[in-house]
Structure 1
Amino acid sequence: MSDTKASPAQSPAKATKGESSQRRKKFGDDPNSAIDAQAAVVMQKGLLDDIIDGIQLGFIAIALICIIFIAVFGKSLPNIFPVIAPIYNMVMRVSGALMNLPQCAAELRQQIPTNLDGLMELSASIVTYFRETLHTLPYKECVLAFSWATYVWEAKLNVRQRDRLHEVKRPEAIASFISRQVYLEANSYGLDKSSLALVKDFVNQLQTTFIIMYDLIPML
């Protein structure tokens, strides 16, 4: 009889322990109702996160579509879609240069002078070539390409950091001296700062692009 009376008293304790274990698994260590609510806010993804996920999925879909089109149409692709002809030609030139790299390296070794006079003549030819090339170099396109490459790289790093800020479990290295509440508050502040930084960087990049494309610097 004593065993049957003890079992109802033990069930609420087991239920409480089970709920605590579930909260610990979902929100992290040190379960607490108030802190769990803050953890839920940190874990929640907003509109900006949805936009970032959509852009990443869009790039993946575009890459898969391009691979399929290239595999199906091959060299006739620029004739079917003339708008992508410059990109196609650039990719083909780069791939051709990579394929001919061993032959180019062998020819380059043969062109290297073996005496001082030949070396001086080669240096003069290189200087003359660069002087002529600098006058025909498309500066705007080069600056824009470098600017957008830098922006995409920094945005990718910011997105990776943002994914880490959505985590609510403290790393073991700092769990002993940083409380869970302080960790969540820091992550929440970091998410707000990251959102503002992503929007600001995008607006600045668009501003830079328009300034370079339309020569707006003298007007500012």
Structure 2
Amino acid sequence: MRGFQLGLYDPARTAAPVVAELLGPFIPRDRPVRVIDVGGGHGAYSIALARRYPDLEAVVFDLPPVVGVAEGLIGRAGLAGRVRTWAGDFKVDSLGAVEFDLALLFGVLVSEDEAEIRRLLGKTFSALKPGGTVAVRGFFLEEDRTGPRDGVLFDLHMLVSTDRGRAHTLGEVFGWLGAAGFKEPGVLEAAEPEPVRLVVARRPA
């Protein structure tokens, strides 16, 4: 588990500052901000957000063996006072109620079937404060599922190596977000220095 998470951490460190910049418009500057990083693994995205926004505190939520790895990386970054971990399983545990301003679901939906995705988005909606934002990162396919190339290859990989994971179209993700109660879905993109594409939506104020 440690080796796997550390292997994911190195490439995530490149993308994480880009993500932190993209999410800037959704992070209040006039008060403390709380973030939950669901399935956050190594914690690279929470670390980058805390570094960029001094009034932000983050919680990395993941399985017990995983958060132990995150704690070491958070401590090494000197952010143990502002980024903490929460051991749990989003399939069975609550994510809290009206506690967070921003929720990250990065690389999570691609591993689950539709029923679990709907349950998770419902829990995420409940965890956010009114006006809070959810940000989803994954491989988003065109509506005919023939592109982009990296998304199609990932979809094929998930098809042969898992019993339920796959890439999704933007239409699918927007639809699930709307069914959970989220409004104003949109896409954030950056090409340099690391290609990043996020879907964001808000819990109504």
TM range (shorter): under 0.3
Higher RCO, Cα 8 Å, sep 6+:
1
Determine which structure has more spread, i.e. the larger CA radius of gyration: 1
Higher strand share: 2
Q: TM-score, normalising length from structure 2? A: 0.21
Higher helix share: 1
Q: TM-score, normalising length from structure 1? A: 0.20
